[in-house]
């Protein structure tokens, strides 16, 4: 076994490009493990845990980039490193060619090179993210702070800095935005329209914008604020600013606010900033006692939030209960005896949370690595329903995010498919910019294999639009051809799964 590394001193590589390099190395036959990252202390510690000689990275620092691979032979390791380097450098060159600029060594240099820019996207390691974001704000740029692991006190300071300059600080951990028709981070291609979205949830924002597009309405802006913005510590600083901005935006006729359960006091204050402009608040797992401001329409799932938004506009929502693929009766007939449990294997954290809400109402106790009820965490009892957010750090440490590389889910899919008690596996397939170019190519054969010979059946949902580069309809068709049931919304996938294990078809028509 060979562990080999190549260091690129004083070189910064964006996290999305890092993951492309990692995937290129892992596609080389004979590679057991590979990574591409900046040499931060945490990443260097990961290398040591994988068997790398500490002396090989003794002089590496946080400003250095590395490629590392563990392979069966020296020649395979060398081939993989070359493939990773090619993937990284070709991507950087294509970015530079598209922007007609060279890579810059500092934010100041980048601003001087592109004085017309008004947004900075920052994805440096969390230890350095706050400094970079302060520098961008000082240059009067709005900031999409993709980085996570930023302490909450630094988040508060950044958002106060942004507010003092009349700028948006979207994040930390904000993966999705669309400003002026330009998608940032993981974003879907959508038509312009009258709905402005404010989201403290990344794939929640994507589901909202995708449904609005598919249902013929469209989006004016999408502003991500970061998952902690509505906490008591952060106080809704950026959510309030975002709602106020959309309130004053003539292109926005109604605001759709998307969040996991917020601090009730913070949310009430933020929602009141909409003034006379209609606002729908889709607060997942909403407490029925939530004190909504006058005029605010409440919803507790993503689907019902978008449906309510259409209602405010006077537009009838489509029927979302239809599925394509095998019928429920056909699915049950395929299952081997004794299978009665659900496994949700999600790439989108908000979609996982929504599934926990819906399954909790229909099948009862559901365990998760991101549980709603802390008593229902992991490890879980063997005979339990489970929903896993595979984008969480315990699953992505040293490997790509499943939205970027669907192969990251195959091992977990195979593990749960082998459990003789599992009847249904729920999969989300997220399309759009930043996501894998053809996720169904990888996932469809794995689903077909899992469902064979009485194995668990797969209920899949494709989050995307007809304009997304992966091809929305083609992705759905490939999964149906593999034998999956396809639903019209993420929420419906959970209801179909519940209907299968409870033998209650009325659940698929349950109002949301």
Give 386-399 pLDDT, tens digit per residue.
999 999 988 887 67
Cross-sheet strand order for the sheet of 31-38: 2-8, 65-71, 31-38
Query: What ranges make up the beta strands (E) of 288-350?
Result: 296-299, 323-324, 341-346
Residue 427 lies in a domain: yes
Q: How many domains does the chain have?
A: 3
Question: Cα separation of 470 and 209, whole Å?
Answer: 17
Of 99, 118, 148, the residue that ends a domain is 99
Query: Which stretches of 337-386 are DSSP H helices?
Result: 349-362
The backbone torsions φ and ψ at residue 75, rounded to the nearest 5 degrees and listed phi first, read -65, -40
Q: How far is CA 413 from CA 90, 189, 360, in A?
A: 32, 29, 22
Cβ burial of 125 (10 Å; 0-12, 13-18, 19+) is buried
**Which structure tokens are listed for 13?**
């590589």
Average pLDDT over residues 405-415: 91
Q: ∠ CA(298), CA(347), CA(285), 5° rounding?
A: 25
Do 503 and 378 sit in the same domain of this protein?
yes
- Give yes or no for residue 99 having a pLDDT over 80: no
At residue 92, the pLDDT reads 52
CATH number at 81 reads 3.30.70
Residue 135 lies in a domain: yes
Residue 131 lies in a domain: yes
How would DSSP label each residue in 410-448?
Answer: HHHHHHHHT-TTEEEEEEEEE-SBTS-S-HHHHHHHHHH
Residue 461 lies in a domain: yes
Q: What sign does the dihedral 452-360-405-179 (CA atoms) show?
A: positive
- Render pLDDT for 287-309 as a digit per residue (tens, 0 to 9): 878 888 888 999 999 999 999 99
289 C-beta neighbours (distance < 10 Å), count: 6
Residue 66 lies in a domain: yes
State the chain's mean pLDDT as an integer: 92
Instruction: Return the minimum-mean-pLDDT range out of 60-69, 83-92, 417-426, 462-471.
Output: 83-92
Do 245 and 170 sit in the same domain of this protein?
yes
Average pLDDT over residues 407-435: 95
Higher-confidence residue: 348 or 108? 348
Beta-carbon-side half-sphere exposure of residue 57 (alpha carbons within 13 Å): 31
- Give yes or no for residue 98 having a pLDDT over 60: no
- Give yes or no for residue 110 having a pLDDT over 50: yes
Nearest to 51 by CA among 18, 16, 3, 99: 3
- Render pLDDT for 55-97 as a digit per residue (tens, 0 to 9): 788 888 888 899 999 999 999 999 999 999 999 887 554 444 4
Do 239 and 342 sit in the same domain of this protein?
no
- Give yes or no for residue 109 having a pLDDT over 90: no
* Residue 336 DSSP class: P
Do 226 and 344 sit in the same domain of this protein?
no
Question: Cα separation of 25 and 407, whole Å?
Answer: 13
Q: How confident is the model at residue 226 (pLDDT cuts 50, 70, 90)?
A: very high
- Render pLDDT for 152-195 as a digit per residue (tens, 0 to 9): 999 999 999 999 999 999 999 999 999 999 999 999 999 999 99
Residues 6+ away with beta carbon under 8 Å from 253: 194, 195, 277, 278, 313
Do 211 and 292 sit in the same domain of this protein?
yes
Do 262 and 159 sit in the same domain of this protein?
yes
Cβ burial of 342 (10 Å; 0-12, 13-18, 19+) is buried
Do 34 and 134 sit in the same domain of this protein?
no
Residue 317 lies in a domain: no
Of 291, 312, 333, the residue that ends a domain is 312
Q: How confident is the model at residue 400 (pLDDT cuts 50, 70, 90)?
A: confident
Q: ∠ CA(135), CA(140), CA(142), 5° rounding?
A: 85
- Render pLDDT for 112-122 as a digit per residue (tens, 0 to 9): 888 888 999 99
What b/e string do you get for 196-227 counting C-beta neighbours within 10 Å, with b at 16 or more?
A: bbbbbbbbbbbbbbbbbbbbebebbbbbbbbb
Cα-to-chain-centroid distance, residue 182:
18
- Render pLDDT for 229-281 as a digit per residue (tens, 0 to 9): 999 999 999 999 999 999 999 999 999 999 988 899 999 999 999 999 999 99
Cβ burial of 418 (10 Å; 0-12, 13-18, 19+) is exposed
Residue 367 lies in a domain: yes
Do 331 and 307 sit in the same domain of this protein?
no
At residue 398, the pLDDT reads 64
**Which structure tokens are listed for 290?**
């939530």
Cross-sheet strand order for the sheet of 422-430: 323-324, 485-487, 457-463, 422-430, 341-346, 385-389, 366-368
Residues 6+ away with beta carbon under 8 Å from 106: none
- Render pLDDT for 490-510 as a digit per residue (tens, 0 to 9): 999 999 999 999 999 999 999
Q: Name the residue range of residue 15's domain.
A: 2-99
Question: Cα separation of 442 and 427, whole Å?
Answer: 13
At residue 91, the pLDDT reads 57
Do 124 and 241 sit in the same domain of this protein?
yes
Question: Cα separation of 131 and 143, whole Å?
Answer: 12
Q: How confident is the model at residue 486 (pLDDT cuts 50, 70, 90)?
A: very high
Do 300 and 368 sit in the same domain of this protein?
no
Residue 318 lies in a domain: no
Residues 6+ away with beta carbon under 8 Å from 164: none
Residues 6+ away with beta carbon under 8 Å from 301: 282, 284, 354, 357, 358, 491, 512
**Which structure tokens are listed for 175?**
């993966």
Nearest to 416 by CA among 365, 380, 440: 380
At residue 26, the pLDDT reads 87
Question: Cα separation of 252 and 275, whole Å?
Answer: 13
Cβ burial of 340 (10 Å; 0-12, 13-18, 19+) is middle
Do 70 and 92 sit in the same domain of this protein?
yes
Of 257, 288, 312, the residue that ends a domain is 312
CATH number at 274 reads 3.40.50.261
Do 15 and 75 sit in the same domain of this protein?
yes
At residue 108, the pLDDT reads 80
Find out whether 392 and 149 touch, Cβ atoms under 8 Å: no
Question: Cα separation of 369 and 150, whole Å?
Answer: 21
Q: How confident is the model at residue 14 (pLDDT cuts 50, 70, 90)?
A: confident
Q: How confident is the model at residue 105 (pLDDT cuts 50, 70, 90)?
A: low
């Amino acid at each position: 076994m060979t562990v080999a590394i190549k260091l690129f001193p004083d070189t910064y590589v964006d996290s999305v490009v890092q993951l492309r390099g990692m995937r290129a190395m892992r596609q080389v036959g004979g590679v057991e493990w590979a990574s591409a990252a900046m040499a931060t202390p945490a990443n260097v510690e990961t290398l040591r845990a994988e068997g790398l000689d500490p002396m090989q990275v003794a002089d590496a620092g946080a400003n250095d980039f590395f490629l590392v691979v563990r392979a069966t032979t020296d020649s395979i390791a060398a081939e993989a490193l070359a493939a990773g380097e090619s993937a990284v450098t070709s991507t950087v060159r294509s970015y530079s060619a598209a922007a007609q600029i060279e890579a810059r060594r500092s934010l100041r240099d980048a601003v001087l090179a592109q004085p017309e820019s008004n947004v900075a996207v920052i994805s440096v390691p969390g230890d350095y993210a706050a400094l970079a974001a302060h520098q961008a704000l000082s240059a009067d740029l709005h900031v999409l702070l993709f980085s996570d692991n930023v302490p909450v006190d630094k988040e508060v300071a950044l958002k106060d800095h942004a507010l003092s300059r009349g700028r948006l600080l979207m994040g930390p951990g904000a993966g999705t935005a669309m400003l002026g028709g330009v998608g940032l981070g993981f974003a879907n291609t959508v038509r312009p329209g009258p709905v402005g979205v404010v989201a403290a949830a990344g794939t929640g924002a994507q589901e909202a914008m995708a449904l609005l597009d598919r249902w013929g309405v469209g989006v004016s802006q999408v502003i991500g604020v970061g998952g902690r913005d509505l906490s008591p510590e952060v106080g809704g600083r950026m959510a309030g600013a975002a709602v106020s901005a959309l309130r004053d935006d003539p292109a926005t006729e109604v605001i759709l606010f998307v969040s996991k359960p917020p601090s009730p006091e913070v949310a009430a204050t933020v929602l009141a900033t909409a003034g006379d402009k209609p606002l729908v608040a889709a607060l997942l797992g909403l407490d029925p006692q939530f004190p909504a401001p006058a005029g605010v329409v409440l919803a507790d799932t993503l689907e019902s939030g978008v449906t309510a938004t259409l209602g405010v506009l006077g537009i009838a929502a489509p029927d979302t209960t239809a599925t394509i693929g095998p019928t429920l009766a056909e699915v049950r007939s395929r299952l081997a005896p004794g299978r009665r449990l659900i496994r949700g294997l999600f790439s989108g954290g908000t979609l996982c949370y929504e599934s926990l809400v819906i399954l909790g109402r229909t099948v009862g106790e559901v365990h998760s690595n991101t549980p709603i009820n802390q008593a229902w965490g992991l490890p879980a009892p063997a005979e339990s329903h489970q929903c896993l957010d595979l984008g969480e750090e315990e699953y992505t440490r040293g490997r790509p995010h499943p939205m970027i590389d669907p192969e990251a889910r195959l091992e977990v899919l195979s593990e749960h498919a082998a459990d003789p008690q599992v009847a249904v596996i729920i999969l989300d397939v997220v399309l759009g910019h930043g996501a894998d170019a053809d996720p169904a190519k990888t996932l469809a054969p794995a689903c077909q294999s899992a469902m064979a010979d009485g194995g668990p059946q797969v209920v899949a949902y494709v989050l995307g639009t007809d304009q997304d580069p992966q091809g929305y309809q083609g992705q759905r068709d490939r999964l149906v051809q593999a034998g999956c049931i396809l639903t019209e919304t993420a929420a419906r996938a959970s209801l179909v799964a519940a209907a299968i294990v409870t033998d209650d078809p009325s659940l698929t028509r349950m109002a949301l």
